[in-house]
Amino acid sequence: MRPTFSIIFFTVMSGAGYGLWILMALASLLIWPERPPGNGMAEVAWPNLLPCGLAAGFLLVSCGLVSSLGHLGQPQRAWRALSQWRTSWLSREGIAAILTYLPVIGIGSAIFHDGRMPVDAMTGGDPLAALWMSSEMRTVASILLLAGSVATILCTANIYACLKPVRAWHNRHVVAGYLLIGIYSGALVAWALAALPQGQIVDLRVLPVLVAVFAFATALLKHRYWRFIDHDPASSTADATGLGSLGNVRSFEQPHTQENYLTHEMGFRLARKHSRKLRTICLIAGFALPALLALLGLAWPSLSAPAAWLALIGGMSGIFVERWLFFAEAKHTVMLYYGARNAD
């Protein structure tokens, strides 16, 4: 399948954004309630990891969504894509993406408001009463954010996983892969943000640990995925045409002498020629390097800031290569009619 830049950019960027939001929602759920009420303001002081993370996620997700419109032939009609959620994962994705903005805007504006509240507003009366969001509301909003982000990633993955003609997509590795890579890239961004000069996260160690763990898990999954797609059960022009009972079938003459939409879009071969090298690059830059840097950051906390940013750059480049391969290596059954062996 032809790797289209707008779709690769969209899935990587919005994946990272939703991964980041998942982590922020978890942080908001797990860390916030533990703060004693009086100290609440320390957590929401601006700038801080939570607002930074929500804002960065907002940027990533929005850039991704805008770029996905670039792929459409009639982008001005994009609103129609929200109508068929009963059957279409693409439609569900659009709805989930829009709904997930709501809790982000809620939590974000509450943090923004409360964090800038003058300290004297706290001294008189009940400080918590002055906050925009009660802790229960914040819990609800965080749960919604978590659910929305997970749901959107699952919808994105299922757009591909439900396509039977593309074996490299229609398998159980795909959904797990999108979710893991989303959270992993979110962790990379979160770690880099926490390493900013003003990043005041209480316990920085949890982020490099997350990066290392998810790098390992994702690399393992990708390895299994690649092994799966490399073991193609033989399918051939004979299967596609149903002429196999009469003899070996070979494409003798194509319908047209020129490339057409189908061969252009679904007959992309270059990636499979170089797939070994690209997979190695992806594994080393995307997963091994960030994992090592995370361990480095844990061992020598003073090195943690450069390590985090290097890990982000390496990791995201590796993920772009991974996503490029995800499209470019995939084979579509229609190419069997054009004489491909194993739909290449």
Partner 1 sequence: MTGLPPPAARKLGLVIDLDTCVGCHACAVACKEWNEGGAFGPLPDQDPYGAEPHGVWFNRVHTYEVQGFGPSSAGSACKLAASAPSQGAPTHPESRPSTGERPVIPDPANAMSVHFPRSCLHCETPACVTVCPTGASYKRAEDGIVLVDEDKCIGCQLCAWACPYGAREFSAKRGVMQKCTLCVDRIYNETLDEADRQPACVMACPTRARHFGDLGDPQSKVSELVAERGGYALMPELGYKPVNRYLPPRPRRAGGTKPETRPAAEPIDTAQMSPLLRWVDRVLSR
- Tell me if 72 contacts partner 1 by CB under 8 A: yes
Of 36, 126, 246, 277, which one interacts with partner 1 (CB under 8 A)?
Answer: 246
Find all residues with CB under 8 Å of 272, minimum gap 6, and list them: 328, 329, 344
Find all residues with CB under 8 Å of 189, minimum gap 6, and list them: 16, 19, 20, 53, 56, 57, 60, 312
Which residue is associated with the tokens 């759920």? 29
Shortest spacing between CB 179 and partner 1, in angstroms:
21
| Residue closest to 47 by CA, chosen among 205, 188, 186, 197 | 197
Shortest spacing between CB 2 and partner 1, in angstroms:
10
- Tell me if 251 contacts partner 1 by CB under 8 A: yes
CA 232 to chain centre: 27
Total residues binding partner 1 (CB under 8 A): 59
Stretch that binds partner 1, among 133-141, 204-212, 249-257, 303-311 (CB under 8 A): 249-257
Question: Angle 336-340-344 (CA atoms, 0-180°, nearest 5)?
Answer: 95
Stretch that binds partner 1, among 11-19, 69-77, 175-183, 186-194 (CB under 8 A): 69-77
- Tell me if 310 contacts partner 1 by CB under 8 A: no
Stretch that binds partner 1, among 15-23, 108-116, 234-242, 317-325 (CB under 8 A): 234-242
Of 34, 36, 73, 203, which one interacts with partner 1 (CB under 8 A)?
Answer: 73
Stretch that binds partner 1, among 30-38, 75-83, 210-218, 316-324 (CB under 8 A): 75-83
Stretch that binds partner 1, among 25-33, 104-112, 144-152, 160-168 (CB under 8 A): 160-168
- Tell me if 213 contacts partner 1 by CB under 8 A: no
Q: Is 242 left (phi over 0), alpha (psi -120 to 50) or beta?
A: left
- Tell me if 247 contacts partner 1 by CB under 8 A: yes
CA 79 to chain centre: 23
- Tell me if 94 contacts partner 1 by CB under 8 A: yes
Shortest spacing between CB 340 and partner 1, in angstroms:
12
What phi, psi does 83 have (nearest 5°)?
Answer: -90, -25
- Tell me if 74 contacts partner 1 by CB under 8 A: yes
- Tell me if 67 contacts partner 1 by CB under 8 A: no
The torsion angle over the Cα atoms of residues 253, 256, 259 and 262, rounded to 10 degrees, is -90
Which CB, 166 or 294, lies closer to partner 1? 166
47 preceded by a cis bond (ω within 30 of 0): yes
Find all residues with CB under 8 Å of 314, minimum gap 6, and list them: 285, 286, 289, 290, 293
In one-letter notation, the amino acid at residue 315 is: G
Binding residues for partner 1, rule: CB under 8 A, are 1, 71-75, 77-78, 80-84, 86-91, 94, 159, 162-166, 234, 236-256, 258, 260-262, 265-266, 332-334, 337-338
